[in-house]
Amino acid sequence: MRVMAQMSMIMNLDKCIGCHTCSVTCKQVWTNRTGVEYVWFNNVETKPGVGYPRRYEDQEKWKGGWIRNKRGRLKLRSGGRLKRLATIFNNPDLPVIDDYYEPWTYDYDMLTTAPLSTESPVARPKSLLTGKNMDIKWSGNWDDDLGGSQETAADDPILATMSEHVKMEFENTFMFYLPRICEHCLNPACVAACPSGAMYKREEDGIVLVDEDGCRGWRMCVSACPYKKVYFNHKTGKAEKCTLCYPLIEQGKPTICSETCVGRLRYLGLMLYDADAVLAAASIENDQDLLEAQRGVFLDPFDPAVIAAAKAGGIEDDWILAAQNSPIYKLISEYKVALPLHPEYRTMPMVWYIPPLSPVVDVISTTNNDGEDARTLFAAIDKLRIPVEYLAGLFSAGDVVPVESSLRKLAAMRSYMRDINLGLDRDESIPAAVGMTGVEIEAMYRLLAIAKYEDRYVIPKAHVETARELENLACSLDTDGGPGMGGPATAAGPYGKTPGMPLNATVDNYNEMVGKGGERTKPTTPGRVNLLNWTGGGVPEGMFPPKATGSPA
């Protein structure tokens, strides 16, 4: 047994209102730069829908993830080592930028500088790749809220695999939102596909990162990731991906997407797992057994044998404590309400989801039945095959049993807690019907519905004392075109260089960024221009900080 710790996330889809705040704040922090205009480390998809990039779930086409070959061994779907190097001159499975979308800006300048005329001036969309006028035909969430999905929903790869009785009739349809980040898999296909060995999984917390110095731009990670969560920076020619905001995580703080989530639906915490068991679990024969196999890889942080092995493996006491308090462990292993996204890709993803009960509740409510009554809900879960089968296509390789079980627990919680809140007698038959006790249901309710900040985020700090010289660490992303954005002021790209507060991602100098009274320092250039939308014409005021002489203090 080789015990390793994995920082993991769970999203409670029932609470997601599709506001895209996570996507926007993530973009402002990480991909607000030339070269990654089209990149969303965090995106929110409406399901059913084609996703971002378009149809990324269609592995027949993109060849992402792993498959089990005839001899029972795991291999990358895109081919073995020899094939990878033979196709290195042109990656046959790489999505082009149009599969995401062509990034654009608007000719805002026209609005203020157009000569006097009878017509109002119009800010035309301009491609950020060519600078030419363009027609906007697609973007990161073009089918948001099922917009236009009469046209596109039929392309949803999950919908296509479902049986014929599924019709996308607009008035009878259901929908929910699926926020996605990098899965920080236990068996990452992107890492396995990187010819340069520049991608790695961090031993301490399992975060999957790209070594920007070691990356040679072969793009194999982009196509090998079945979730298409590794992106190609077309300016620097290097791969970039969600970092799970490791500079924040190392300080014991939640990621930007979690911190700013208005629905408070994200959970962060550790999972202990047996690294030696991962390969065997990922190679199990039947796709539908993968969920149980992955649950089997996780270790019980209360088990004395696990604790001893973890300590022997160098995991500190506070980390073991954090693993014991982890909301992730509770939701995955104790309550078993969280499910992985597409376990059939065999990458052992570590961002799990609590499936949404709301499509079911909505249907009941429209029929004037009591949408919070346990019996009605249980019956509806059994009866409403379409949402359940669709959810099973996402979270359990098509097996409806785990999805049903999870939904029934959520329904039981809803109805049991309603009785308590209305001052009625506790109906202990409800928790019993889903194999739980009333105490467990209440604890789950505290975690899912009350969802206190300290319950959602149980993040142990990184051990700086072992990183002797961390204070000298220059931020490895802090370079021209790099996500740190504070790189040297070298020549700007064709669309300008994006400025920002210089951020050195270390635990120690975080305190320098915070004022003495604990208040955050303001951006160094208040009133600065948002260069994301700057087309490169002229030097607008506020682009550079004021000169030292005669500047207002």
Partner 1 sequence: MNPLDFLLWVAFPYAAMAVFVVGHLLRYRHDQFGWTSRSSQTYENRLLRWGSPMFHYGILMVLGGHIVGLLVPKEWLEFFGVTEEIYHVGATSLGSVAAALTLAGLAILIYRRRLNTRVLLATTVMDKIMYLLLGATLLFGTVATVLFQVFGAGYDYRGSISPWVRGLLSAQPDPALMSDVPLFFQLHVLSATLLFLLWPFTRLVHVFSAPLAYFVRPYIVYRSRDGHRGSGSRKARRGWEKSELPASARDREATRR
Please report, as residue ranges, which positions from 130 to 189 form the binding site for partner 1 (by CB under 8 A).
Answer: 130-132, 187-188
Contacts with partner 1, 528-547, as mask; x by CB under 8 A: -----------------xxx
Instruction: Tell the smallest beta-carbon distance from residue 533 to partner 1 (Å).
Output: 18
Contacts with partner 1, 416-455, as mask; x by CB under 8 A: ----------------------------------------
Contacts with partner 1, 79-108, as mask; x by CB under 8 A: --xx-xx-xxxxxx-xxxx-----------
- AA letter at 430: I
| Contacts (CB under 8 A) with partner 1, residues 272-291 | none
Interaction of residue 32 with partner 1, rule CB under 8 A: no
CB-nearer residue toward partner 1: 201 or 330:
201
Angle between the N-to-C axes of helices 400-421 and 438-445, in degrees from 0 to 180, rounded to the nearest 10: 90
Length of the chain: 553
Instruction: Tell the smallest beta-carbon distance from residue 452 to partner 1 (Å).
Output: 29
Bridge pairing between strands 351-354 and 3-12: parallel
CB-nearer residue toward partner 1: 162 or 473:
473
Q: How many CB atoms lie within 10 A of CB 342?
A: 23
Instruction: Tell the smallest beta-carbon distance from residue 283 to partner 1 (Å).
Output: 12
Helix (H, G, I), strand (E, B) or coil at 40: coil
Residues that bind partner 1 (rule: CB under 8 A) add up to a total of 82
Among positions 487, 497, 532, 534, the unique one binding partner 1 when judged by CB under 8 A: 487
Beta strands (DSSP E) in 296-420 are: 339-340, 351-354
Residue 487 is encoded by which pair of tokens?
């790189």
Among positions 69, 113, 524, 533, the unique one binding partner 1 when judged by CB under 8 A: 524
Interaction of residue 551 with partner 1, rule CB under 8 A: yes
Looking at 103-111, 129-137, 315-323, 429-437, which segment touches partner 1 (CB under 8 A)?
A: 129-137
CB-nearer residue toward partner 1: 48 or 482:
482
C-alpha distances in angstroms, 123 versus 27, 113, 120, 179, 195? 23, 11, 10, 31, 44
C-alpha distances in angstroms, 265 versus 14, 26, 179, 327, 345? 8, 16, 10, 12, 25
Residue 167 is encoded by which pair of tokens?
């019709």
Instruction: Tell the smallest beta-carbon distance from residue 539 to partner 1 (Å).
Output: 16
CB-nearer residue toward partner 1: 16 or 199:
199
What's the rounded Cα separation, in Å, for the pair 326 and 319? 10
Spacing of C-alpha 223 from chain mean position: 17
Interaction of residue 488 with partner 1, rule CB under 8 A: yes
| Contacts (CB under 8 A) with partner 1, residues 183-222 | 187-188, 191-192, 194-197, 199-205, 211-219
Interaction of residue 482 with partner 1, rule CB under 8 A: yes
CB-nearer residue toward partner 1: 96 or 424:
96
CB-nearer residue toward partner 1: 60 or 213:
213
Looking at 332-340, 355-363, 367-375, 480-488, which segment touches partner 1 (CB under 8 A)?
A: 480-488
CB-nearer residue toward partner 1: 31 or 406:
31
Interaction of residue 367 with partner 1, rule CB under 8 A: no
CB-nearer residue toward partner 1: 43 or 187:
187
CB-nearer residue toward partner 1: 147 or 217:
217
Helix (H, G, I), strand (E, B) or coil at 233: strand
What's the rounded Cα separation, in Å, for the pair 303 and 296? 14
Contacts with partner 1, 459-478, as mask; x by CB under 8 A: ---x---xx-xx-xxxxx-x
What's the rounded Cα separation, in Å, for the pair 293 and 297? 7
Q: How many CB atoms lie within 10 A of CB 420?
A: 15
Strand partners, 209: 200
CB 144 within 8 A of CB 46: yes
Contacts with partner 1, 236-265, as mask; x by CB under 8 A: xxx-----------x---------------
Interaction of residue 511 with partner 1, rule CB under 8 A: no
Task: Identify the sign of the CA torsion 222, 223, 229, 233.
Answer: positive
Interaction of residue 345 with partner 1, rule CB under 8 A: no
CB 374 within 8 A of CB 430: yes
Instruction: Tell me which DSSP letter residue 331 carries.
Output: I
Residue 300 is encoded by which pair of tokens?
């019980």
CB 352 within 8 A of CB 335: no
